[in-house]
Amino acid sequence: MKNIVILISGRGSNMQAIVEAGIPGARIAAVISNRADAAGLAWAAARGIATEALDHTAYPDRPAFDSALAAVIDRHQADLVVLAGFMRILTPDFTSHYAGRMINVHPSLLPAFSGLHTHQRAIDAGCAVAGATVHFVTAELDHGPIVAQGVVPVLPDDSAASLAERVLRIEHRLYPQAVRWFVEDRLHINGHRVEVRDVEPAARALVALD
Ligand code: GAR
């Protein structure tokens, strides 16, 4: 059984998708937020999942918050840390502590559009497709080895909000699948590339063009 600790900052719909996937061999050990009022915390607590809130504004600096956060995560004996809309820049000490056992979902087809406002930037760039990326987390923001990507169209009338909704739907398929592969020990990092053992290579690319 692998312990999964999920970090959120808000709604937590990706966290919900992972919980509801009921992944065999995975135990959701805790859901942790840097915001006590994150809607996802209440959702998880109502389902009997351990929840913790660590208010980043109560800490003097980023390293102090990150080391307090790591202490809480480690108390839950995490085998895998899942960032699910956790809107914090992480210190290199934190990312190296969880090297190879922390993943993130980012709402763009990395390496395009790392950082914020991804959907508007994809629209402004005239992209025909957009999507989401699940990747291992390294010290460089949104640049770790890619586990899987999901592709959706950008439609002529899209606003950032309508595109975000379409991308989110594919995130909800992509992220539980990536967690499942981790739990099944299928993910192997070779340099900057991830090998997913014993699955169809095309399974790393989800496409939803309708
Ligand atoms: C998701 O779209 C996720 O990709 C994004 O925040 C949203 C969280 O939604 N994450 C980032 O932008 C991280 N850089 P959720 O709270 O409903 O899962």
Checking if the pLDDT of 210 tops 80, the result is: no
Q: Candidates 35, 171, 175: which one to mutate for ligand 1, based on the most atoms within 8 Å of Cβ? A: 171
Instruction: Check whether 49 is labelled as a binding-site residue.
Output: no
pLDDT value for 64: 98
Same-domain check for residues 153 and 199: yes
Distance 34 CA to ligand 1 centre (A): 14
For residue 71, what pLDDT is reported?
Answer: 98
> Does 31 have pLDDT greater than 80?
yes
Domain count for the chain, please give it: 2
Q: Could you tell me if 198 and 132 lie in one domain?
A: yes
For position 104, what pLDDT does the model report?
A: 98
Query: How far, in Å, from the CA of 162 to the mean position of ligand 1?
Result: 14
Cβ(150)–Cβ(131) below 8 Å: yes
Active-site annotation, residues: 106
* pLDDT at residue 28, as a whole number: 98
Same domain assignment for residues 129 and 89: no
Share the mean pLDDT of the chain: 98
| Residue 41: per-residue pLDDT | 98
Domain of residue 174 covers 104-210
* Residue 66 pLDDT greater than 90, yes or no: yes
Kindly report the pTM of this predicted structure: 0.98
CA of 106 to the centre of ligand 1 (A): 7
pLDDT of residue 204 exceeding 80, the answer is yes
pLDDT on residue 45 = 98
Is residue 186 a known part of a binding site?
A: no
Q: Express as a percent the part of the chain with pLDDT over 90.
A: 99
Q: Which atom of ligand 1 is nearest to the CA of 40?
A: 16
User: Please, which pLDDT band fits residue 140 given cuts at 50, 70 and 90?
Assistant: very high
| 62 annotated among ligand-binding-site residues | yes
- 163-169 long-range contacts (CB < 8 A, ≥24 apart) are 163/119, 163/122, 163/123, 163/130, 164/107, 164/119, 166/130, 166/208, 167/107, 167/119, 167/130, 167/131, 167/132, 168/13, 168/107, 168/132, 169/208
C-alpha separations of 26 from 1, 21, 170 in Å: 6, 10, 21
Q: Which of 6, 9, 14 to mutate to test the pocket of ligand 1 (most atoms within 8 A of CB)?
A: 14
Same domain, 118 and 84: no
Residue that is last in its domain, among 57, 73, 98: 98
Confidence check: pLDDT of 49 > 80:
yes
Q: Are residues 114 and 179 in the same domain?
A: yes
Closest ligand 1 atom to Cα of 118:
12
Measured by CA distance, the residue closest to atom 10 of ligand 1 is: 85
Give the rounded percent of residues in the chain with a pLDDT score beyond 70: 100
Residues 53 and 78 in one domain: yes
Residue 38 has pLDDT above 90, yes or no: yes
Is the confidence at residue 106, as pLDDT, over 90?
yes
pLDDT 10s digits, 147-190: 999 999 999 999 999 999 999 999 999 999 999 999 999 999 99
Instruction: Report, as an integer, the average pLDDT of 60-71.
Output: 98
Report the amino acid identity of residue 153.
Answer: P
- CB of 130 closer than 6 angstroms to any ligand 1 atom: no
Which of 98, 115, 148 finishes a domain? 98
Given pLDDT bands bounded at 50, 70 and 90, which one contains residue 209? confident
Q: What is the pLDDT of residues 108-118, one digit of tens each?
A: 999 999 999 99
